[in-house]
Structure 1
Amino acid sequence: MDLTLSTCFIAVDDHDRALTFYRDVLGLEVRNDVGFEGMRWVTVGVPSQPDVEIVLEPPLADPGASAADRAAAADLLAKGMLRGVIFRTDDCDATFARISAAGGEVLQEPVDQPYGVRDCAFRDPAGNMLRFSQPRS
């Protein structure tokens, strides 16, 4: 069996703010922007990985979800309790400098980890944690 990753999802509470961050700060390309039943999904991706997409979606992207479930998901997002994404970079320090200069909320400055990477971490505008990892030789 040959499997490849095609899509992952990140919950956002404001697609326009998210786009400014993912497109303008991180340099991801916008591949799709779709609305349905009052919700919006924006697909972005790294230009060098055309087969892998990140969907920026509402906190609970289910048209049948109850108001209570939507509120619970929005609360978790606001607390930064939802999972994020780890990006690989060839220069952690330069990536950190670029994102912090653009106003990214720093969670961790670049540090050498005992598990073989140098990494740093930020929050996106919705509160999701994003890590940027550089393998050490």
Structure 2
Amino acid sequence: MELAHVRLLVTDFTACYRFYADVLGLKPRSGATGGPYERFSPATGAAGAAGIALQDRAAMAALLDETGEPATGHRSLVVLRVDDLDDYCARIAARGATLLHGPAPQTERMRVAHLKDPEGNLVELQEWRLLVG
């Protein structure tokens, strides 16, 4: 398992994008100034290094099928990459974890699952697939 990034769930995506890119000088990966998602990395250092990502808060609430509070109140989540999402989810469920969503496809290359820690903080588990083509 590896830490992928910390994702901040934001209401004013454009203002937060400008802050992390223009004020702090972090490097956006795609240039998606209007959202709903962007990942930033340090201006210097390894390209694959863990960074900070922004995501529209309402989009995450919709994904988790949580309308209203507390979903719109989530401010961040920790993103962890695992090699075998199904196996990992089965193992943590056996140890008492309750999955909120997934394992399910998120994109063509990525599958995800979501859960909360005992304090209600969101955790996203990711499995990246290699595309064969």
Give the TM-score normalised by the residue count of structure 1. 0.42
